[in-house]
Chains A and B, each alone.
Chain A
């Protein structure tokens, strides 16, 4: 991400892809992961939902960081997709 390089089309695409992954993909992951957390067995559903709400932003922040720290844009998406799928499975199982 050095600024001396003249930005090529593929570089711009990679950046745009990462930004999309971070903002949209990260939000989707944070939401799904939090819904999965809230679905875990708990005394009161309201409390587990509240706990999930509290944690959701930390997950979102981590996802955003991952989207840019990953070695490639593809890996960025993959790294968000895998936990998202696992979360979805967990939500479906606990329904």
Chain B
């Protein structure tokens, strides 16, 4: 009875894991990089000097407003993101036109400004770390709906894989610290177990919260049952949580009240150590203008309370709490934990580590499946199934090939000509071109060679990035350390570290392949044992990690 349950959960774990793992690996690698999105942004725009002292807030707001008036005088909403912590290293403005019935906005712009001059920062066109991060939920080359559904389905599969994995893991407490290297398939299982169990709270959180991000898109009928069907219903549902801010424009021109006194009021209410604000202006220069102030988040609840002012008189109209209900509070915490906006440097590295563990969990699971199937194929003396060969090639091309492609993103950033039209888009094209090449390489070479070659290439791709940086810019590692610029230095050192890890892997595999060639002869009379050993060795050849 219990055995059947375990078997069925084992089957479900294998298949829900296997089918989506390569997509999940893409999501995990880009998402993990995304925890350092603004740091990567800055490395990818070396023309922008390291953040200097900011002018007084009043001045910053003034230049932002001037630029917004120039760029988007007719917009429905203006946003001013004041510079503060690592999540907002520089002044950013955004503008949006009114939302149409189908949910789209005709105009949707943003600019990064220099706080002193009020002009856009002069730097190379690039998607930066922000784009890398955005791809982890938006993917690329796919429409928004297809992308959201793909990520949503993959996440749902991962949730089931996590739960079934917990059910199936027989000795989750006894084997908590167990890792037995050098034992082939068992080592892979140990690695998969350790990586998964260690990061289990994070994985469960990241998966469920990921689904919550998409909840309205993935479960539209629940909203449709109580609001209108389709996009209008969803919009009216969302606006329920913005009670107090929504107002129609009067159509009468009126000057905008000075914002500085409003910021002072907010500062008095929130305390002197709350630095960064987001200013939202609805219907600017209109009689019904509204100015909302939000502060930077330093707790997992992710949303701040909102002070809503009349845009003409400057009177405080309402104070909207961060969470008006328990349901909203729960959602806020899920979102907050996922995004990790509140995380300081150390905590951010922990998030990064958890992301890598998750990637490792997925990768070891994939390799374990392939090793097991290869071994079974050898023992039964059958030809390797097409599915097995496909999985083995996809494994190489994604587990090592995708990191190479991400490194290529950074190489492209330094090497593509600055005046190339669509430069930012081309940096991203490079990622997918290189990934495709790696997948092709994995198909053409014998698996054992392909693993070693790709690990070697990954080592070079990452470790040589600081060298490339030194050649193409003057913000090389020595300069960064001397100037206390830990964003640049941190990036270079991390790339170096990743390169070392890949190099170690390549060398270990090369050594193993070398000793396998000098395999010891089998003992006579141990035919069964012998064939198992041989099968194991051949399995290791195909998946020689």
A residues with CB within 8 A of B: 1-2, 30-31, 34-35, 38-39, 43-54, 56-58, 60-61, 64-65, 68-69, 71, 91
A29 to B156, CA, bound (A): 15
A31 touches B215 (CB 8 A): no
Q: Is the interface of A mostly helix, strand, loop or mixed?
A: helix
Given known A46-B240, A47-B328, contact A65–B160 (CB-CB < 8 A): yes
B240 touches A31 (CB 8 A): no
Residue with the highest number of chain A CB atoms closer than 10 Å, among B156, B222, B226: B222
A41 to B324, CA, bound (A): 18
- Total contacts A-B at CB 8 Å: 90
- B11: interface (CB < 8 Å): yes
A39 to B222, CA, bound (A): 10
A50 touches B156 (CB 8 A): no
A57 touches B156 (CB 8 A): yes
Could you tell me how many residues of chain B have their Cβ less than 8 Å away from some Cβ of chain A?
Answer: 36
Given known A49-B226, A68-B12, A71-B4, contact A61–B160 (CB-CB < 8 A): yes
B118-177 contacts to A (CB < 8 Å):
156, 159-160, 163-164
A34 to B227, CA, bound (A): 14
- B325: interface (CB < 8 Å): yes
B215 touches A68 (CB 8 A): no
Given known A35-B221, A38-B222, contact A50–B4 (CB-CB < 8 A): no
Given known A38-B225, A54-B212, contact A69–B219 (CB-CB < 8 A): no
Q: Which residues of A contact B331 (CB under 8 A)?
A: 50, 54
A57 to B10, CA, bound (A): 21
Beyond known contacts A30-B219, A68-B9: 14 more, CB 8 A cutoff: A1-B10, A1-B11, A2-B7, A35-B221, A38-B222, A45-B226, A46-B240, A49-B226, A50-B325, A53-B215, A58-B208, A60-B156, A64-B160, A68-B12
B334-379 contacts to A (CB < 8 Å):
334
Q: Which residues of A contact B12 (CB under 8 A)?
A: 64-65, 68
- B491: interface (CB < 8 Å): no
A22 to B349, CA, bound (A): 38
Q: Which residue of A lies closest to B236 (CB)?
A: A46
B222 touches A31 (CB 8 A): yes
Q: Which residues of A contact B291 (CB under 8 A)?
A: none
A51 touches B219 (CB 8 A): no
Give B251 Cβ to nearest chain A Cβ, in Å.
29
A43 to B334, CA, bound (A): 23
A49 touches B219 (CB 8 A): no
Closest 3 CB pairs of A and B: A46-B240, A51-B327, A47-B325
A35 touches B225 (CB 8 A): yes
A57 touches B208 (CB 8 A): yes
Q: Which residues of A contact B240 (CB under 8 A)?
A: 44-46
B215 touches A56 (CB 8 A): yes
Residue with the highest number of chain A CB atoms closer than 10 Å, among B160, B225, B324, B328: B225
Per-residue A-contact encoding for B186-214, CB less than 8 Å = 1, 0 else: 00000000000000000000001001100
A34 to B223, CA, bound (A): 10
What are 29 A-B residue pairs whose CB atoms fall within 8 Å in the complex?
A: A1-B7, A1-B10, A1-B11, A31-B222, A34-B222, A35-B225, A44-B240, A47-B325, A47-B326, A48-B327, A49-B226, A49-B227, A49-B237, A50-B328, A51-B326, A53-B212, A53-B215, A53-B223, A54-B212, A57-B159, A57-B211, A57-B212, A61-B160, A61-B163, A64-B12, A68-B9, A69-B9, A71-B4, A91-B225
